[in-house]
């Protein structure tokens, strides 16, 4: 056997992920998506997410074990997301993981969701090791992390308001593209001109921090004025321009950190890293600078159980003990110590949503007419 057999469970938001790892080898990884449940709300409804996790987790665990050809009694440990995330969603996975670990008599490892994303490239690349700069971007977070060593993290910067994925979600809804917004805008941008509309790039004076609330306001204002004037451009041009504005900021600030730290390894994780344009731009810049880029396949960028299990594998190999089974989730869990603390702010339905963005597909009817 190449390493410990670990069952990983991820339920921090709206996807139920379960995986079996043997060392860093993914024996199986299954995912239960809730996109259809939340789509009509334009964002994740926490109570709906928690109930869906309850229904999905046991069948998915059975499916993951079956695909891996592993009997529960063969497991060496159970790993489960402890935080950050939606409290109800976290509790479902954590309770199931604790119960399973107790019944099997194996250790339980409570894992930081963000640390899971830091580890995800290890599942795709053998040469991904610190020191590294890692960009983490999704609907709930936008952070740049200096990974000095595994377990030694410095958060160099993060969002001061909205996360990148949240901006995608809210603007896609306003434009009538549906939820989740990142993939929708990515698809709609094909054939569009990314230079068609010069949307703002915020916080140029803060090299590692993000702000996307101003971009949302700018896009909404631009579209409302263009609609009133009867001058709406092709939607693909708007989508491409929105995407380019977000991608520009992420790439620039990631490589600001690379230059400041002197590292030669760049990693990435979180659902926004599945964006095709972002992956292209990161690769171009890494190649230009002669540094290694390690962004996992899209299925490992989004939330998944494999990344959670991978952190536990490392802890087991280091001889670290599991958690007290009386422990609990921590929805506000922070990554690392000593750095700036940027909270988990996943885009939930209508949460912190400007009234103009709450209206259904404000500009979509003009494009469809």
Q: Is the dihedral of CA 125, 1, 299, 118 positive or negative?
A: negative
Reported as a single tens digit per residue, the pLDDT across 25-81 is 999 999 998 877 887 887 788 899 999 999 999 999 999 999 999 999 999 999 999
CA distance 349 to 326: 32
Residue 251 and residue 281 in contact, taking contact as beta carbons nearer than 8 Å = yes
pLDDT of 362: 47
* DSSP secondary structure code for residue 211 in this structure: -
Q: Where are the domains of the chain?
A: 5-120+300-317, 126-295+340-368
Residues ≥6 apart with Cβ < 8 Å to 48: 34, 37, 38, 41
Predicted confidence (pLDDT) at residue 298 exceeds the cutoff of 80:
yes
Q: What is the mean pLDDT of residues 266-283?
A: 97
Structure confidence at residue 96 (pLDDT): 97
User: Fold match between 5-120+300-317 and 126-295+340-368?
Assistant: yes
Per-residue pLDDT tens over the stretch 90-136: 999 999 999 999 999 999 999 999 999 999 999 999 889 999 999 99
Q: Is the dihedral of CA 225, 230, 235, 238 positive or negative?
A: negative
pLDDT over 80 (residue 284): yes
Q: Which residue has the higher pLDDT, 333 or 362?
A: 333
Q: Two tokens at 295? A: 């962004």
Determine the average pLDDT of the residues in 235-263.
97
pLDDT band at 354 (very low <50, low <70, confident <90, very high): very low
On whether the CB atoms of residues 107 and 25 are closer than 8 A, the answer is no
Residue 348's pLDDT is 43
> Across the strands, what pairs with 109?
79
CATH no., domain 5-120+300-317 = 3.30.420.40
Residues 6 or more apart whose CB falls under 8 angstroms from that of 347 comprise 43, 44, 139, 140, 162, 163, 165, 166, 169, 170
Per-residue pLDDT band at 368 (split at 50, 70, 90):
low
Q: Which pLDDT score is estimated for 336?
A: 65
- Look at residue 342 in the predicted model and tell me its pLDDT: 35
Domain spanning 126-295+340-368, CATH class? alpha beta
Distance CA 167, CA 250 (A): 13
Give the C-alpha separation, 76 to 105, whole Å: 9
């Amino acid at each position: 056997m190449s390493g410990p057999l670990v069952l990983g469970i991820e339920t921090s938001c709206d996807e139920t992920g379960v995986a079996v790892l043997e060392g860093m080898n993914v024996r199986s990884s299954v995912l239960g998506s809730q996109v259809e449940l939340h789509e009509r709300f334009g964002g994740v409804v926490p109570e709906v997410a928690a109930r869906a996790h309850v229904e999905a987790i046991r069948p998915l665990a059975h499916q993951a074990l079956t695909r891996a050809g592993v009997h529960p009694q063969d497991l060496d440990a159970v790993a489960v997301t402890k935080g950050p995330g939606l409290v109800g969603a976290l509790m479902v996975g954590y309770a199931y993981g604790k119960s399973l670990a107790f019944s099997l008599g194996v250790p339980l490892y409570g894992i930081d969701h963000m640390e899971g994303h830091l580890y995800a490239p290890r599942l795709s690349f053998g040469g991904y090791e610190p020191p590294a700069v890692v960009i983490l971007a999704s609907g709930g977070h936008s952070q740049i992390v200096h990974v000095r060593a595994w377990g030694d993290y410095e958060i160099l910067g993060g969002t001061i308001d909205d996360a990148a994925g949240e901006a995608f979600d809210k603007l896609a809804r306003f434009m009538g593209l549906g939820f989740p917004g990142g993939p929708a805008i990515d698809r709609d941008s094909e054939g569009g001109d990314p230079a068609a509309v010069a949307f703002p790039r915020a916080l140029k004076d803060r090299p590692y921090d993000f702000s996307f609330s101003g971009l949302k306001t700018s896009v909404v204002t631009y579209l409302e004025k263009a609609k009133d004037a009867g001058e709406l451009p092709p939607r693909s041009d708007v989508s491409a321009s929105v995407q380019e504005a977000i991608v520009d900021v992420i790439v620039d600030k990631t490589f600001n950190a690379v230059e400041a730290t002197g590292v030669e390894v760049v990693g990435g994780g979180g659902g926004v890293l599945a964006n095709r344009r972002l992956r292209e731009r990161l690769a171009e810049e890494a190649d230009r600078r002669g540094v290694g880029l390690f962004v996992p396949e899209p299925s490992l960028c989004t939330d998944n159980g494999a990344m959670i299990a991978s952190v536990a594998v490392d802890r087991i190999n280091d001889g670290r003990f599991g958690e007290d089974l009386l422990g609990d989730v921590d929805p506000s869990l922070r990554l690392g110590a000593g750095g700036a603390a940027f909270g988990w702010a996943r885009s939930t339905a209508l949460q912190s949503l400007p009234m103009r963005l709450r209206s259904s597909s404000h500009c979509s009817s003009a494009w469809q007419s």
